[in-house]
């Protein structure tokens, strides 16, 4: 450290058992008896909720289409970053929060009051996914909140986080040494690599 002229930051340095968990680069990493769970941190979830509130407050009052587009960009970035960890249940909870927040905000800005019938408002802004501007969502079935684009041919629809496929750690090419089965495979691969290395150094003479 001294050679590289680096110093440890007391605020960012933590020595703790992995069983208690720790946060790193937006991920919470914690070891359980059967596996290691990696999921978004509470700080990351609060940051996304604040971002949703900021976008709806800034854009929904003037341009609902632009607001949904900006919101989808934020949701897509969040989903791509966290879809390879333990996020399925978290994504569904966020979808619930975002959907109701967007619905209430949009109704308030369009009609100037939250007393307008929610069912009537939803009927006016509820479209099937095959009408979405984004092609990636058109193969999904069902309907969701949205607003017609200027051409009135496609709709800007709210992105659902649950549409993003989750790839857990066990599906990652890097094996998890805390899982018994994967640790055994790591040991087998290590022994095989050691054997191949020895054969390369000392080839068999026939």
Overall pTM surpassing 0.75 (yes/no) = no
Give every CB contact of residue 171 below 8 A, 6+ residues apart in sequence: none
According to the model, what pLDDT value does residue 114 have? Answer: 63
According to the model, what pLDDT value does residue 172 have? Answer: 45
Residue 69 has pLDDT above 70, yes or no: yes
According to the model, what pLDDT value does residue 5 have? Answer: 74
Residue 53 has pLDDT above 70, yes or no: yes
Quickly state the pLDDT bin for 192 (edges 50, 70, 90): confident
- Which residue from 79, 40, 44, 45 is spatially nearest to 161, judged by alpha carbons? 79
Q: What is the mean pLDDT of residues 141-148?
A: 80
According to the model, what pLDDT value does residue 157 have? Answer: 79
Q: Confirm if 63 and 154 have CB atoms less than 8 A apart.
A: no
Relative orientation angle of helices 88-111 and 64-82, to the nearest 10 degrees: 170
Q: What percent of the chain has pLDDT over 70?
A: 85
Least confident of 31-35, 44-48, 147-151: 147-151
How many other CB atoms are found less than 10 A from the CB of residue 109? 16
Residue that is written with structure tokens 């087998």 in the block: 188
**Structure-token pair, residue 86:** 């333990």
Taking the C-alpha atoms of residue 92 and residue 78, their distance in angstroms, rounded to an integer, is 13
Residue 92 has pLDDT above 60, yes or no: yes
Q: What is the mean pLDDT of residues 11-27?
A: 80
């Amino acid at each position: 450290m001294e050679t590289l002229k680096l110093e440890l930051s007391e605020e960012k340095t933590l020595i703790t058992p992995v069983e208690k968990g720790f946060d790193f680069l937006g991920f919470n990493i914690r070891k359980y008896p059967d596996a290691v769970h990696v999921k978004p941190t509470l700080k990351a979830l609060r940051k996304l909720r604040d971002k949703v509130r900021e976008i709806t407050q800034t854009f929904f009052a003037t341009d609902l289409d632009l607001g949904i587009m900006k919101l989808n960009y934020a949701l897509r970035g969040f989903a791509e970053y966290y879809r390879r960890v333990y996020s399925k249940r978290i994504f569904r909870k966020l979808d619930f929060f975002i959907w109701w927040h967007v619905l209430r905000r949009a109704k308030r800005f369009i009609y100037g009051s939250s007393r307008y019938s929610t069912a009537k408002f939803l009927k006016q802004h509820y479209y099937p996914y095959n009408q979405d501007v984004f092609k990636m969502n058109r193969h999904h079935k069902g309907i969701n909140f949205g607003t017609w684009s200027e051409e009135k041919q496609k709709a800007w629809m709210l992105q659902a986080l649950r549409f993003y496929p989750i790839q857990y750690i066990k599906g990652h090419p890097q094996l998890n040494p805390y899982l018994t089965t994967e640790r055994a495979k790591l040991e087998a691969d290590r022994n095989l690599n050691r054997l191949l290395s020895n054969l390369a150094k000392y080839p068999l003479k026939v």
